[in-house]
Amino acid sequence: MKELLHQTYGSIFEEALLTEIEQVALLKEFNEGDVIIDFGDKILKMPLLLSGAIKILREDFDEGELLLYFIEKGDTCSMSMTCCIGETKSEIKAVAETKGKLVMIPVMYMELWLGKYKSWRNYVFNSYNNRLKEMLNAIDSLAFMNMDERLLNYLLEKSKINRSREINATHQDIAYDLNTSRVVISRLLKALENEGKIKLHRAYIEIVNKNY
């Protein structure tokens, strides 16, 4: 854990804080598709992501679930922090996009470190700010973008998260994340292929002309 903590957060946190995290945090490994936090869970620990990527979903009581944003290495989920501090049940679902590792910090230390370490305060406030921007982007996407634009943005974000032109997701998986039907997604994917933006293969989707 110590090496991973220093690799990920060594440039962000003081050495004393890194030492405390190592002493109190629980290391957890996860695989693609694992549910890390579910709706209604009582969150007693705050996650810090050491590797991999996690997607955060919001429950739609009428139509299922909706993708809010992704978190990556070095990130945390501000909504889980809010639940920790308020001792409320989770209103989000965190699902592993890729395999990876994270550490879970008990809520008592999260609050203690806010007054003890400037780097921790900055990290928490920046995390809230970044996640708020991403949620506003998600709202803008729902309110102002057509489904084909939302789909293309989703594919580009998945490509970025996985650092690959190839996206291994079924049409049903994509429809689930975007809260629409598989038929709609299949039709729009074909349209994007006809426009030369993607290429459909039997088991994956390829982003065309994407630079990394």
What are the residues whose beta carbons fall under 8 Å from the beta carbon of 196, sequence distance 6 or more?
208
| Integer angstrom CA distances of residue 76 from 133, 140, 171 | 14, 23, 28
User: Could you tell me if 57 and 92 are in contact, meaning their C-beta atoms sit under 8 angstroms apart?
Assistant: yes
CATH number for the domain including 23?
A: 2.60.120.10
Tell whether 194 and 130 lie within a shared domain: no
- Give 96-135 pLDDT, tens digit per residue: 999 999 999 988 898 899 889 999 999 999 988 887 887 7
Q: Would you say the C-alpha torsion 134, 56, 93, 2 has a positive or negative sign? A: negative
SS (H, E, C) 103-157: EEEEHHHHHHHHHHCHHHHHHHHHHHHHHHHHHHHHHHHHHHCCHHHHHHHHHHH
Which tokens sit at 145? Answer: 């973008």
Tell whether 22 and 64 lie within a shared domain: yes
Tell whether 122 and 165 lie within a shared domain: no
Tell whether 36 and 135 lie within a shared domain: yes
pLDDT at 103: 94
- Give 55-64 pLDDT, tens digit per residue: 988 887 666 7
- Give 194-211 pLDDT, tens digit per residue: 999 999 998 899 999 654
- Give 75-95 pLDDT, tens digit per residue: 988 777 777 666 678 888 999
What are the residues whose beta carbons fall under 8 Å from the beta carbon of 124, sequence distance 6 or more?
81, 110, 114
Into how many domains does the chain fold? 2
Average pLDDT over residues 24-53: 92
Q: Where among 143, 158, 174 does a domain terminate?
A: 143
Q: Which pTM value belongs to this model?
A: 0.77
- Where does the pLDDT of residue 166 fall: very low under 50, low under 70, confident under 90, or very high at 90 and above? very high
User: Could you tell me if 34 and 95 are in contact, meaning their C-beta atoms sit under 8 angstroms apart?
Assistant: yes
Average pLDDT, the chain: 87
pLDDT at 212: 40
| Integer angstrom CA distances of residue 202 from 35, 166, 181 | 27, 12, 20
Q: CA Rg, the chain, in Å?
A: 18
pLDDT at 74 over 60: yes
Determine the structural domain holding residue 30 and report its residue range.
2-143
Residues forming a β-bridge with 166: 206
